[in-house]
Structure 1
Amino acid sequence: MISVTQAKPSQDPIRSHCEMLHGLAEGIDGKLVVSVFFAAGGEGTISHHSIGDVDGMVAEISAHSDTPGANVYCGLQIMRKSLGRGERGGKDDVVAVLGLVADMDGDTGKTGDLPFAPSYTIETSPGNQQPVWLFDNPLTPDEAKPLAAALQRATGSDSGTKDIAHVWRIPGTKNWPNEAKLKRGRSPDAASVQYAQEWDGELIPLDAFRTALAPWAVAPASEAVPVQLGELPDAGDVTVSDKAAALLAANDVDDRSKHARAVVEQLNFDGHGAEEAAALFLAATGNWLDRYANEQRARTDFERVWGKEVARREEKREAAARLAGGLKGANDNVAGADADGDGAANVSTTGVAFVATPYIPADPSTLPRREWLFGNHYIRKYVSVTVSPGGLGKTSSSIVEALSMVSGKPLLSPEGGLLPKRLKAWLFNGEDPRDEMVRRIEAARLHYKLTAEDIGDRLFLDVGRERELVVLIEDRKAGIKINEPVVEAVVKQIKDNEIDVMIVDPFVSTHQVNENDNGAIDRVAKLWAKIADRANCSVDLVAHTRKLNGEEATIDDVRGAGSLIGAARSVRVLNRMSREQANLAGVPEMDVAEHFHIAIAKANMTKQDSRLAWRRLEGVGLGNGDGISKPQDHVGVVTPWKFPSKEATAEKAASEVTADQLEKILVRLKNQTSAFARNSSSWAGFHVMDALGLNRESKDGRDEAAKIIGGLIADGTLVVKQEEDHRRHKANVVRPRPE
């Protein structure tokens, strides 16, 4: 509430107005500006007044209140303290807005109904009024802009209503008409600026005002205007997405007009400015551009479509979002936050109301595709999670994936051909020193025969031992808070270097909150999601599992709180090869630890794929040794590995049976009726186990026998045939192939 005692408006309207402004502005780091302009034109005067300087402001206004031809103004906005002497300031100089005004000019027809009762109303001249709404809390410029635009639409008032830097007349001064007003029939005599309704000292709840203006939050189509283009760049210097390139080069489309709109919308979605987009549009190679008789017509249509179909849609979304409180930074409600970056503390915000945002139907065929960057795990603007037990190969796996991205070569799926384009990747490792990470990267480069040119300037590496990457911290006094300098630096680095993918290993190193607190981990995960969105990149968070005691890891085994999984769009789990899988694949026990598989455990944006992608760690020598006493380092490099088919493993197992063992098997199967079915008490595999000395009670032994039976059938040594038993029941039995 106001802390300055106010004079009664009817007794001293100028002082009353000044006391009101300074009282509302108390505590804000800025200043008020008084402007004097003359009706006949010419140079006016501008004066700045610190918050609390009521007497100085009253004296300045009063000095001109009776000057012939002098119109005196002061806005309801607080300007930045560093505003230059003699400058009135504009929208970019506003640090806080105390209230809004509707400029209702009866002589121009700019009048309408009021959506909310005003705090007070000023009559600026006969038939012309300015209703004023003073809020219980000052607004930031970003909060004020959509409200001012909505107020202008709601009241049908003059365009000055939606300008948060607009200046307004002061009660107790004179309104001298300029030449334009005289032409409209105004009297040349000055009109007194006076209260039509005085202020009773009450302030308007901001939430209630927002709610009242909700129906006017969205701009109607009639407000859309063609974009005004500046100088266009060379289209050849502009990089385009694959989707945009395909649209620009399309030929023989069914509806050229519809296709032109799709091109414009895709270019806007990709983040191109109007000039870049126009240059690409006009340089399109597809014959859809032939719909325009000449370049000027194409340019004119681009300006229209960009303004109407794109800019208007963005304004709708932004206006509705901001009116409802907006998608604001996680600590925007902290008092003193420097939101506009000018070094001055801005006004703190309070709780805001929510409004329903109208859905705008769209043509599905024109919607941009999700931008998958690598496989079905990395997607631009989203967070993915990789869950893995320790010591399995997750870091090496991430390194090889990053090398595949930057080189454009399908290192882990060689049959897939080259990748669509090379990407830029940033590896951050919070556990290992730089020299160890360099060893791993160079070992992978050696194994896959990647040259320095294959890597180029597209790979970035940082480690936590040199500089920690902590985005969220927990302080005993302040609680959980965002580490803003680090977050902003990460976003800036990704943007400046045009990085496509960032891999953070491990996730736990990026925060200092209780990892078992679901709420805290949810904030960390969503903060990374916000970073991905702001920086227009994909972020993969590598997370450890809890202690598994030999069990296979699942999505539920992520270490700490499970809210990390909920925030990710794609989650994959790494697991070491099990003994059963090793037996089926014919992998010797001593080599089992080298094999692991990757399974997609959560896929919100693709069809769930239950197939396993197998990997194998292969040791690679770095060649950095010096004789026998100082041998070279060997580093494990992740390579693709295919799980053998049943036929292949069976044939391998059968080939390892000795001639003597095979003779024993064939004799027994010839002389005894042996069932093909494994669950039979007379299963043929038992004869194999006996011949090889395997334990009939061992599952591993039975698995081995099954593979040998399968291999001997596959190579034609054995056959499966139907025979009748003594009760004339038919059954499948295994026999040596007849000679």
Structure 2
Amino acid sequence: MLTLERQISIGSLIALAKAGGWDASSWMARATSPTPANTFPVTIDQFDIANIWNNIPHRAWLLPPYLVAKHYSMLVATGASGKSAIAITMALALLTGREDLLGVKVVRPCRVLLINGEDGHEELVRRIRATCLHFGIDLPEIAHRLKVIGARQVPGLTLNRLQPGGVVADQAGLDKLEDLIRQSGADVVILDPLSSFLPGGTNDGASASAVAGRLTEICVSAGCAMLLVHHTSKAAQREGDNDPTAALGSAMWANHARSVLNLRRPTDFEAQAIGRLPSAIRDLLVLLHSKANLSRAEDAIFFEMVGVELPNAEPPLFPNGDKIGVATRLLPGASAGLFSPAMEAAAVARIAAAATTSIPYKASGRRGRQDFKPDIAVILASHFPGESQVAREKLAKILIAHLINSGRVVISHEPLPRAGKGKGGGKSDAVLRVANRHVPAGAGTGAPQGTNSILESMSASVHGQSVPAQGGTELPLGGVGESGAPETSHQRSET
């Protein structure tokens, strides 16, 4: 019997075997034989477009244009911004087939698998129950078609892992996800949030591409749509989160998605444009369709977070039920609803006084002696005592835009007096005049040159998104707002 006292190589083992009489010829023949050039039965003819030219299947939309079968989409937002509440409202719309929950078309009632990596099963059921109470949905409408998995209820449900040398896709975890999808028969799968299923992190591009590709394969194989709820990056939080690359980590996550939705709080200007005061912003959300590979990007959707009390009071310790935040679609109202006839009349009178007793207000709303915002904000102060000076000045922009849209105020192009002791007249500029009042000869009556309305001269749109305003004019979303310390209201010098 041969005893080895140290490790030897495979070559030494083969040499010992041959010395003992082993015939290695057949083994060597197999080891050195060339690999067949094509071991997969593929013929180029199967890729001819004529095969399906007259029988092209329709895209399997479930929630057009946001969710489509055989692909995944993303919902991107900062932490604690309401993205889970939006995802639950979306899930219930898909389960019931009700279009009023989101204000968008639902093709058919679906089976939904909701997997959360942060909240437990009981907490998820609380949120779902509260949302059902708010929308009048009874348990039989969703029972047996909604499966909910809470954090750590399924061990090993991870999509990547860290190993020596880097981050790799976790094939066992991905296979487990596919098995859960097949068991549930889900048409839509929601993973919330994506990062909780990625212990290897979100930054590595190669592993992100591998996981994203495998998720797409699962969608194709199971015939389902998938929604990945994800966080925004810190850079996006600083610089703006209105584009698909705002997602945390590698750009591969968004690159593989067919649709990306960005969720954030509206700006003061956006809130006022839909008839809400700046103080209401903490309860408002705006959903932007920032990436659309299979359709045109849709306009922004506004949501409001409302509190719903569950019927689970336990007196005397808990005399009331749990209060749960529910995301409900907010239909933009006319901005004119913010202002009473008395406020409108006072603003018109102030514009008339400025035009007859001093230098008229500039239509652009830029700061300086001819800025209308501080003076109009004085009129609004008693009506909106809870708003800051900056917020009231932004309300002033909305009020003046409404007065222009309604025809009570016009924009006039005219030469203005030169300020100071310089010689000669001033340059021509766009100013505010009251309609049907005297306008200097030669003055125009349209919007500022190169613009369509006062709001275009005051604001800039963001990513082409807009919201409706009174009179059919569009108020640009994310308009340029004033920054810095609030201005003090002032009166113009009499001339």
Q: In structure 2, do the counterparts of structure 1 residues 730 and 400 end up closer, same or farther at CA, with 3 Å as the change threshold?
A: closer
Shift of 1:635: 0.8
Cα-to-partner distance string for 1:288-310 (whole Å, 9 max, x where unaligned): xxxxxxxxxxxxxxxxxxxxxxx
CA contact (8 A) 2:160 2:167 kept: no
Report what 1:427 is aligned to.
Answer: 114
**Pairing partner for 1:405 from 94, 97, 108:** 94
Letter in 1 for 2:189: M
**Gap runs ≥5 in structure 1:** 7-14, 25-133, 137-202, 218-317, 322-355
Distance 1:395 1:365 in 2: 42
Q: 1:377 to 1:656 in 2, by over 3 A?
A: farther
Q: Within 5 A, what are the aligned runs for 1:454-603?
A: 454-468=141-155, 469-476=157-164, 480=168, 482-484=170-172, 486-547=173-234, 551-553=239-241, 554-603=243-292
What are the within-5 Å matches in structure 2 for residues 307-456 of structure 1?
319-320=41-42, 359-362=47-50, 363-414=52-103, 419-456=106-143
Q: 1:514 to 1:450 in 2, by over 3 A?
A: closer
Q: Which amino acid aligns with 1:412?
A: L
Alignment partner, residue 336 of structure 1: none
Of 290, 300, 316, which aligns to 1:612? 300
Contact 1:492 1:535 in 2 (8 A): no
How many Å separate the matches in 2 of 1:731 and 1:395?
Answer: 47
Describe the shift of the 1:552–1:643 C-alpha distance in structure 2 as closer, same or farther (beyond 3 A): farther
Distance 1:459 1:434 in 2: 13
Question: Residues 560 and 370 from structure 1, CA distance in 2 versus in 1: closer, same or farther, beyond 3 angstroms?
Answer: same
Q: 1:472 to 1:682 in 2, by over 3 A?
A: closer
CA displacement, residues 671-699 of structure 1 (integer Å, 9 cap, x when unaligned): 567357225864665653454579xxx76
Matched to 2:324, the amino acid is: V
Alpha-carbon distance, 1:628 to partner = 7.6
Q: What does residue 473 of structure 2 align with? A: none
Residues in 2 aligned to 1:661 and 1:480: alpha-carbon distance in whole angstroms: 64
The question of whether the paired residues in 1 share the 8 Å contact of 2:348 and 2:409 is answered with no
**In structure 2, the residue corresponding to 1:657 is in which secondary structure?**
helix
Matching residue of 2:434? 735
CA offsets 1:409-455 (integer angstroms, 9 cap, x no match): 114344x56x3321111000000111111110001100110112221
Q: What is the aligned partner in structure 2 of residue 711 from structure 1?
A: 402
Structure 2: where are the runs of 5+ without partners?
A: 1-10, 383-388, 417-424, 438-495
CA contact under 8 A between 1:724 and 1:731: conserved in structure 2?
yes
Cα offset for 1:479?
7.2
Q: 1:589 to 1:702 in 2, by over 3 A?
A: closer
Is the 8 Å Cα contact of residues 583 and 700 (structure 1) preserved in structure 2? Answer: no
1:345-366: per-residue Cα shift (whole Å, max 9, x none)? xxxxxxxxxxx88741325342
Name the SS of the counterpart of 2:343 in structure 1: coil
Partner letter of residue 319 of structure 1? P
- Give percent identity, aligned residues only: 23
Distance 1:692 1:595, change over 3 A: closer
Q: Which has the larger radius of gyration?
A: 1
CA contact (8 A) 1:650 1:710 kept: no
Distance 1:610 1:378 in 2: 13
Match of 1:204 among 30, 33, 58: 33
Q: Take 2:344 and 2:66, find their aligned partners in 1: how far apart are those partners?
A: 47
Shift of 1:375: 2.3
How far, CA to CA, are the matches of 1:365 and 1:679 in structure 2?
A: 58
Structure 1 residue 5, shift from structure 2 partner? 6.4
Aligned to 1:637, the other structure's residue is in SS state strand
User: RMSD value over aligned CA atoms?
Assistant: 3.9
1:649 is aligned to 335
* Contact preservation (8 Å) 1:666, 1:736: no
- The number of residues matched between the two structures is 400
Residue deviations 1:494-548 (CA, integer Å, cap 9, x gap): 2233211111011122233243222222222222222222222112221112235
Distance 1:725 1:566, change over 3 A: closer
Shift of 1:399: 0.9
* Residues 530 and 396 of structure 1, relative CA distance in 2, 3 Å threshold: same
Within 2, Cα distance between the matches of 1:366 and 1:661? 63
When residues 730 and 495 of structure 1 are mapped into structure 2, their CA distance, relative to the original with a 3 A threshold, is: closer
Distance in 2 separating the partners of 1:731 and 1:502: 54
Residue 391 of structure 1 deviates from its aligned partner by 0.6
Contact 1:385 1:542 in 2 (8 A): yes
Distance of 1:581 and 1:564 partners within structure 2? 29
Q: TM-score, normalised by structure 2?
A: 0.69
Separation in 2, partners of 1:364, 1:465: 47
Whether the 8 Å contact between 2:161 and 2:198 is mirrored in structure 1 is yes
- Residue identity opposite 1:710 in structure 2: A
Query: How many angstroms does 1:586 deviate by?
Result: 4.3
Pair 1:430–1:731, CA change in 2 (3 A): closer
In structure 2, what is the Cα distance between the partners aligned to 1:392 and 1:540? 17
